[in-house]
Structure 1
Amino acid sequence: MLTFKEIAETVGVVIDGAGVVAICAGLVVAVTRYAMQGRRVEDGFRQLRQDLGRGILLGLEFLVAADIIRTVAVTPTLGGVLVLGVIVVIRTFLSMALQVELEGHWPWQRKPEEVPPT
């Protein structure tokens, strides 16, 4: 019979795999889309970068979730939680940086066109 730790570790590995698949699928979709229409569209390269960024952001969310599951459910030690904290901070910074790159503003700011005129 499987123990809770074994199940949690398996779930963590599956979610890690989903994160890697999301990043790879995002890459394939972005490159395919660019190859089919990128040169005909005025800002095709920008669209390629945005598509890649979206795939990476989705993959990072899965990877953070897997780290949380494995750290909290499998090895709840102080050292493990500290390592998880550092990983989450780094991945959160990467996610925010990618979001700023994609959308052109910080998540807590209004979109440029939503700013009321002065």
Structure 2
Amino acid sequence: MSQLLQTISHIISYVSIAIICYGAALGLLKFIGNEFGRLNRSLSLEKTVQIKIEVGYYLLLGLEFLIASDIIDTILNPTFEDLGILAGTVLIRTGLSFFLNKEIENIAQNQPQQDK
């Protein structure tokens, strides 16, 4: 059973890496496309903020999976090092989530209301 949980933990870790890499690659492609669009004056700088928020969501999702993996590892092999890694990951995720949510709220408040 322990080996199965360890394998599941590794799979979850790889999934989290894939999510973060996918989000970063997608954000990079959108950013490059946006910059070329700005050169042609067809897109605005505000799109960059939206791209940043989208990449942030992928980072948060990837960190959620990393936390799940670290929790499994900590349960299977509870050492102070594992607890430290788990605590660090949770702190990073909480900080990112807090600041990302603040930024989303600020963007929502500063955007003009569009007529439907």
Normalising by the residue count of structure 1, what TM-score does the alignment of the two structures yield?
0.69
Q: In structure 2, what is the equivalent of residue 59 of structure 1?
A: 62
Q: In structure 2, what is the equivalent of residue 5 of structure 1?
A: 2
Aligned residues: 102
**2:49 aligned with 1:46:** yes
* Overall identity of the aligned pairs, in %: 31
CA offsets per residue over residues 26-64 of structure 1, 9 Å max, x none?
Answer: 011112223334533221221221122111111111111
Unaligned stretches of 5+ in structure 2?
Answer: 111-116
Q: In structure 2, what is the equivalent of residue 108 of structure 1?
A: none
Task: Point out the structure with the larger helix share.
Answer: 2
Unaligned stretches of 5+ in structure 1?
Answer: 106-110, 114-118
Which has the higher relative contact order, 1 or 2, with Cα contacts under 8 A spaced 6 or more apart? Answer: 2
Normalising by the residue count of structure 2, what TM-score does the alignment of the two structures yield?
0.70
Determine which of 64, 84, 87 is the counterpart of 1:85: 87
Q: In structure 1, what is the equivalent of residue 26 of structure 2?
A: 29
SS in structure 2 of the partner of residue 104 of structure 1 = helix
Q: In structure 1, what is the equivalent of residue 114 of structure 2?
A: none
**Contact 1:60–1:95, Cα closer than 8 Å, also in 2:** no
* Pairwise CA RMSD: 2.5
Q: In structure 2, what is the equivalent of residue 18 of structure 1?
A: 15
**2:95 aligned with 1:98:** no
